[in-house]
Amino acid sequence: MIRVQREEFDVGAEVARLTRGNHLIGGVACFVGIVRETAGGEAINAMTLEHYPGMTEAKLAEIEAEAGRRWPLEASLIIHRHGRLEPGEQIVLVITASAHRQAAFEACEFLVDWLKTKAPFWKLEETASGPRWVEAERQDDKAAAKWAGQGRDKAAE
C-alpha cells in the first residue's frame, strides 16, 4: 500500500491497520524518517518536499512491488509526506510484515534504501543562509547498490 500525503501519520495505528486479521504475520519491521534540525553543520528551519503527483505514486508502487518479488511479505506500507515540514516532524513511514522477522527486516531496509535514491521527491531546506536543494548523497547510492541481485527467493521459503 502506498500513500503520499501532507497529513501526519500515527505509526501505531498504521501497524495495527496493516496487520489486522492476518495471523500469518510473525514479524513486523518499521522505519520512520524524521526531519533533522541540522544538516552539514547548519541549522534547518524547515524542509519542503515536492513531488509530481501520479508519477511519484507509480514509482513508489514499483519499489514496493520489487520488495514483494524479493521477499515473502504478507503486507507492506509506504507513507511519504510532502509539503513544508519542520524539525521533529515525520517524513516517511515504511512497514513490512512477513511470517519471519528476517524477511521483514531485509525488505524494510531495502525499501528505505531504494526510496532514498529512486523516489521522485525534491527537498528544499530552509536555513539561515537561505534555501538550498538537497543533493543526492554518495552513501545513499552505495546503500541502494548493495541490493543489486540480492533478496530471497520466495520459492525457497
Q: CB atoms < 10 A from the CB of 134, how many?
A: 15
State the cell numbers at 26.
510473525
**Residue 154 located in a structural domain:** no
Read off the pLDDT of residues 78-129 as tens digits, 9 standing for 90 and up.
999 999 999 999 999 999 999 999 999 999 999 999 998 889 999 999 998 9
Cβ atoms of 52 and 121 within 8 Å: the answer is no
Read off the pLDDT of residues 50-91 as tens digits, 9 standing for 90 and up.
999 999 999 999 999 999 999 999 999 999 999 999 999 999
pTM of the model: 0.89
Query: Does residue 154 carry a pLDDT above 60?
Result: no
The overall average pLDDT reported for the chain is 91
- Any residues with CB less than 8 A from the CB of 113 and at least 6 apart, and which? 140, 143, 144, 146, 147
Q: Is 147 left (phi over 0), alpha (psi -120 to 50) or beta?
A: alpha
**Residue 92 located in a structural domain:** yes
CATH (domain of 80): 3.90.1170.40
Pairing of strands 83-85, 42-51: antiparallel
Report the number of distinct structural domains present in the chain.
1
* Domain carrying residue 100: 2-148
Mean pLDDT of all residues in 23-44: 93
State the cell numbers at 128.
539561515
Cα–Cα distance, 104 to 98 (Å, whole number): 5
**Residue 156 located in a structural domain:** no
